[in-house]
Amino acid sequence: MSLIKPFRGLRPAPHHAADVAAPPYDVLSTEEARLRAAGKPWSFLHISKPEIDLPAGTDPYAPAVYAKAVENLGKMLAAGILHRDARPSYYAYQLRMGEHVQTGFVAAASVAAYDAGRIKKHEFTRPDKEDDRVRQIEALNAQTGPVLLAYPAAADADGLLAQASAGAPVAEVVADDGIRHAIWEVDDAALIADITAAFERMPALYIADGHHRSAAASRVATARRKGGDERSSDYFLAVIFPHHQMKILDYNRVVKDLNGLSEADFLVRIGQRYSVTPSSGPARPAKPGEVGLYLPGRWYRLAIDAALMPADPVARLDVSLLSDHLLGPVLGIADLRRDKRIDFVGGIRGLGELEKRVASGEMAAAFAMHPTGMADLMAVADAGQVMPPKSTWFEPKLADGLVSHVLD
């Protein structure tokens, strides 16, 4: 079984790509999706967030929601908005956000490789979210949300990617947020064979985002497996970028209170583990080991005591250091998944969002983090460990709807 393989993509008709392309299902609330899809009957949100077409308050995990997704997909197929390619292909997918450009392959990735650890993960999953993705895949008989993967430096794959993305794309969309999405179809037999072989030589691929989607695909494959015959459900929809092109933004923290401490006492406690320096403006961390702290009206720069920097790939992450030396011992926040006193802010919102959350009185303090590096992510995955919750925020985001994987 190959690490990746081409497949017959389900895609928008070229002149409908902009009508269909939508943000990922898991970055919008139901109400946000309802607003985004208003007046857009062919938006993929009608498939990925179908509760928007049901009465307000509908449980997004109700059976009627998955049935609505099937109905909406059928309408888009019948109207010719979506069509399926006649031949198995790879696809090149390019994202452009300002000056940042990244180009990768859309492929069907092996569930067996995922199960065996050759496609490596770095996060725990939640059963309820896995269940949702399983029900969505089974209802649609398709995987519509791609898993974001990274491949380690490989000059041969990079060269093939440049070939695949030469010439005019078959679809090009500039989304509402200004990000450009472009797709090229790769149906040349020789190029397909070279791409497959190049990936077969790779020791591993790394999940960047999409742990619930890949876990759900594995469950569906297990349920559908019969004998030794290979089935399309033995693969999952993935977009695979060179790791050095991927952009991780900071994933920041805000807390509701100082655990009964005054600001002065809070800073004294922090000073036992970090150096604390007042900053004249927003304190964006310049390197690992640094954290920006915002208290009402004032920024501070924190730098971890070098003696506290461990060798372990998880423990040395800035998000781990903050939890182990500040959030836990000073603020009493030990469980980032369940503690209601902490919230998380993606770096795409900027440090101004942290100031806003504190200035409003909603939060007592904010922590600006240095972005986790791809090398750190890969080191954690190679060690078979998992990262703390909310460690990475990838930008730009993939669009839903530009290529889907039908399970024959």
Other Cβ atoms closer than 10 A to 320: 17
pLDDT at position 408, please? 87
- What is the rounded distance in angstroms from the CA atom of residue 195 to the CA atom of residue 158? 10
Tokens of 386: 């998992």
pLDDT at position 292, please? 98
pLDDT at position 228, please? 75
Residue 156 and residue 193 in contact, taking contact as beta carbons nearer than 8 Å:
no
pLDDT at position 343, please? 95
- What is the rounded distance in angstroms from the CA atom of residue 383 to the CA atom of residue 396? 27
Element (H, E) at 63: helix 63-78
pLDDT at position 337, please? 84
Measured CA to CA in angstroms, residue 386 lies from 137, 165, 188, 252, 315 at distances of 26, 34, 39, 19, 10
Q: State pLDDT tens for residues 339-386.
A: 999 999 999 999 999 999 999 999 999 999 999 999 999 999 999 999
In eight-state DSSP terms, residue 407 is: -
Element (H, E) at 264: helix 263-270
Residue 327, judged by CB atoms within 10 A of its CB (0-12, 13-18, 19+), counts as buried
In eight-state DSSP terms, residue 389 is: S
CA dihedral sign, ordered 378, 339, 393, 73: positive
Which stretches of the chain drop beneath a pLDDT of 50? none
- What is the rounded distance in angstroms from the CA atom of residue 297 to the CA atom of residue 213? 41
Q: State pLDDT tens for residues 155-197.
A: 999 999 999 999 999 999 999 889 999 999 999 999 999 999 9
pLDDT at position 229, please? 83
Residue 333 and residue 327 in contact, taking contact as beta carbons nearer than 8 Å:
yes
- What is the rounded distance in angstroms from the CA atom of residue 186 to the CA atom of residue 164? 6
